[in-house]
Structure 1
Amino acid sequence: MKKFILVVCSLLLVSALAACSSKSTAGSGESKGKVTVGGKDFTEQHILTKMTSIYLKEKGYQVDEASSMGSTVARSALENGQLDVYWEYTGTGLMVYLKQPVETDPQKAYEKVKEADKKNGLTWLNKSEFNNTYAILMRQDQAKKLGIASISDLAEYINKDSSKYKFATNSEFYAREDGLKALQKKYGFAFPQKNVVKMDTGLLYNSLKEEQVDIAVGFATDGRIKGFDLVVLEDNEQFFPAYNGVPVIREEVLKEQPEVGDLLNEMADRLDGDTMKDLNYRVDVKHEDVNKVAREWLVEQGMLD
C-alpha cells in the first residue's frame, strides 16, 4: 500500500512539474512584452491595424488593439502613452500635427516629418510606398475615349467646353484652401459653379460609376477605384501633398522592444499602392472580413506560417 501511495505521489509530482514547465513555456511565449496598437476609423486603417496586431501576436507579443479612433484622438493617445504604435500619413503628420507647409515630394515629406516629430518622442519607421493622397478620378472607358491621362489633359478639355463636365467633390476638398480652388489655379482651368456637385465622401465613387458626374475627387488607394473600373489621372504638376503610410511608434517603446520596429519596418517595406488598393477592394467591394484579408496577406508574404 505504501509503495502504491509513493508511486501515486511520484506521478502527481511529475505531473505538477510538467504543468509548471508547460506554463513556463507558454509564459515564455508572452515574455516579449505588451504592445498597444491603435488605428483610425476607415477601411484602410482597419486593415493596417489588424495586420499589425496579428503579426505582433504571432511573433510573441501581447497585443491590445484600439481601432476606429478619430485622427486627432489617435495622435493624442500616442503622445500620451495610451497607444504604442499606429499607422499615420506623412502629409497628415506634417501639416495637421506639426503645422508645417505642404510637401508634395514623398521622400522629402517623410524626412521632414520624421525629423520634426523627434521632439515629441515619436519615431517614424520605414515609409511604405502606398500614398493615400487625394486623386482626380474618371471612368476608365471615358478617359480612354477622350485621351485623358493626366490632370493637364483634363484641364485642356475643360477649357475647350467646361459646360459638358460635372465634377463631384466632398465638402472638405471644396472648401479647403489647398483643395479645388488651388487645384484649378495650379492647372489653369475652372469648373462652372453649377457643374460642381457636393456630396458625402462615400457617394463620390458611386456617382462616377453611375455616370451622374464625369469627374470626381477621391483617394488614391481606395478599393472602389479598382472595383468600379475608375482611373486616377496623373498629377503631373505634383499638386497633391504626399500621404505615404508609415508606422509611428513611441521612442521609449522602440528602445525597450527594438524587434517591434524591425517587424513593422518589414511590413512597411512590402506595402505599395497597388497592394493597398487591392486589400481595400477586398473589404469595401467584395465585403470580405478584415481579419481574413489581413491574415491572408501576411501568409502570402511569407511573414506567417
Structure 2
Amino acid sequence: MSNTRYASLRRLLPRAVLLAASLLSLPFMAGGVARAAEPIRVGGKNFTEQLILSSMTEQYLRAKGYSTTLTTGLGSTLMRQALESNQLDVVWDYTGTALVVFNHIKEKLDAEHSYARVKTLDAQKGLVWLDASKVNNTYALAMPRERAVATGITTLSEYAKMVRDTPKDRHPFAVDMEFAARPDGLGPLKEAYQLPLTRRDVIQLDPGLVYTALRNNQVDTGLVYTTDGRVKGFNLVLLRDDLNYFPAYSAVPVARAETLAAHPELSAQLNALAAQLDNDAMTEMNYQVDIGQRPVDQVATDFLRQHGLI
C-alpha cells in the first residue's frame, strides 16, 4: 500500500530518524520513477498544530486520489532541509519562521509584506508559498481570565501602564528561555512598550510550564502562542499587541515547484484547504488534541468532513 499513516509519535520516530539519515546522503527513496508517478511526500514539525496540519493535508490529498506518504515529528530546521533537498514535497510553514530563521531578515514587516518577501526569496530556491491561511500562530502575552477581568486590561499598552504606575509591586511575568535571550525577544519588547519589568519580575521557564504557571495564577502574565489549545483550555486572555510588536507567523502550505508542475491541480487544491483555516478553527483543533486528548488523525478527519473537503 503506497499510503503511509502514523497514529502516534512513537510510530513517527522511525520515519523522522530515517529522514535525518537521508540528509546525510543515505538512501531515503529509490529513484528512476517519473515524478508524476511518485507519491506526494507530506512533512510536518513536532508540535500539535503541525501534527494536525500535516495529517489533514495527507488525508485531503489521498481523498483527491493522490498517492501520499507522511513524515512528521521533525524539527523546524530539519523539515526545511528536507524540503530544500527534495526529500519532502509539501509542508506547512510560518512566514515569521521563514523570514527570521531561514532567510535571516531582521527588518520588521507586517503580515502582507512578510508573506510577499518569503514568497519571493524562496521562489529562488524552487519553493512555492501558496495562499496564506488566516492562521497566525504568533507570540502573545496572556493573563488568567479572572485577573484580566479584575484589572480591565485588554492590551499590552494598558498592561505596561499598570506596571509603570505601580513600581513598588511585583509583576511576575513568565517567559520561555529562548524568548528571554532572543535579540528580537524580551529586551526589545520591553523597550517598545516602555515596560519596566525587573529581573525579579521575569521568570524563565520551559514553554509548557508558562501555561501551567498562568493556569495556577502563579504569575500575572506569560508569553504564549496565539493558537495554542491551552489558551482556551486554561481560560487565558490574550492581550492585544496594539503596537504590532510581534511579527506575523501566518501558516502557509509550501510546496516544491517541480511537484506543483507535475500535478497541475495541486496548487488550487492546497489553496482551497488553506482558505478554510483560521485562528479559531486551529485553536479549537489544538484544544481537542492537547486538552481533550483526541487522536490527531481523527481531529483532522472531522475538520475535513465538516468543511466538505473529503
Q: Distance in 2 between matches of 1:262 and 1:294?
A: 20
Shift, 1:159, TM fit: 0.5
Q: Are 1:278 and 2:279 matched, yes or no? A: no
Runs (4+) of structure 1 moved beyond 6 Å?
none
For residue 194 of structure 1, give the secondary structure of its aligned residue in structure 2: coil
For 1:185, the equivalent position in structure 2 comes to 191
Percent identity reads 42
Alignment check: 8 A CA contact 1:131 1:273 kept: yes
For 1:21, the equivalent position in structure 2 comes to none
Match of 2:61 among 53, 56, 69: 56
Shift, 1:204, TM fit: 0.8
For residue 302 of structure 1, give the secondary structure of its aligned residue in structure 2: coil
Question: TM-score, length-normalised on structure 2?
Answer: 0.86
Alignment check: 8 A CA contact 1:90 1:242 kept: yes
Over the aligned positions, Cα root-mean-square deviation in angstroms equals 1.1
Which is greater in Rg? 1
For 2:241, the equivalent position in structure 1 comes to 235
For residue 247 of structure 1, give the secondary structure of its aligned residue in structure 2: strand
For residue 255 of structure 1, give the secondary structure of its aligned residue in structure 2: helix
Q: Distance in 2 between matches of 1:140 and 1:287?
A: 23
For 1:25, the equivalent position in structure 2 comes to none
Q: Deviations over 1:76-108 (max 9, x none)?
A: 000000000100000111111111124341111
Shift, 1:232, TM fit: 0.8
Q: Distance in 2 between matches of 1:232 and 1:181?
A: 20
Shift, 1:258, TM fit: 2.2
Q: Distance in 2 between matches of 1:195 and 1:109?
A: 33
Q: Distance in 2 between matches of 1:201 and 1:280?
A: 16
For 1:151, the equivalent position in structure 2 comes to 156
For 1:168, the equivalent position in structure 2 comes to 174
For residue 200 of structure 2, give the secondary structure of its aligned residue in structure 1: helix
More helix by share: 1
- Length, aligned pairs only: 274
For residue 197 of structure 2, give the secondary structure of its aligned residue in structure 1: coil
Q: Distance in 2 between matches of 1:51 and 1:39?
A: 11
Match of 1:91 among 96, 110, 117: 96
Alignment check: 8 A CA contact 1:103 1:242 kept: no
2:256 is aligned with what amino acid? R
Q: How does 1:1-305 map to 2 (within 5 A)?
A: 34-162=39-167, 163-304=169-310
Question: TM-score, length-normalised on structure 1?
Answer: 0.88
Question: Which ranges of structure 1 fall in alignment gaps of 5 or more residues?
Answer: 1-30
Question: Which ranges of structure 2 fall in alignment gaps of 5 or more residues?
Answer: 1-35
Shift, 1:181, TM fit: 0.9
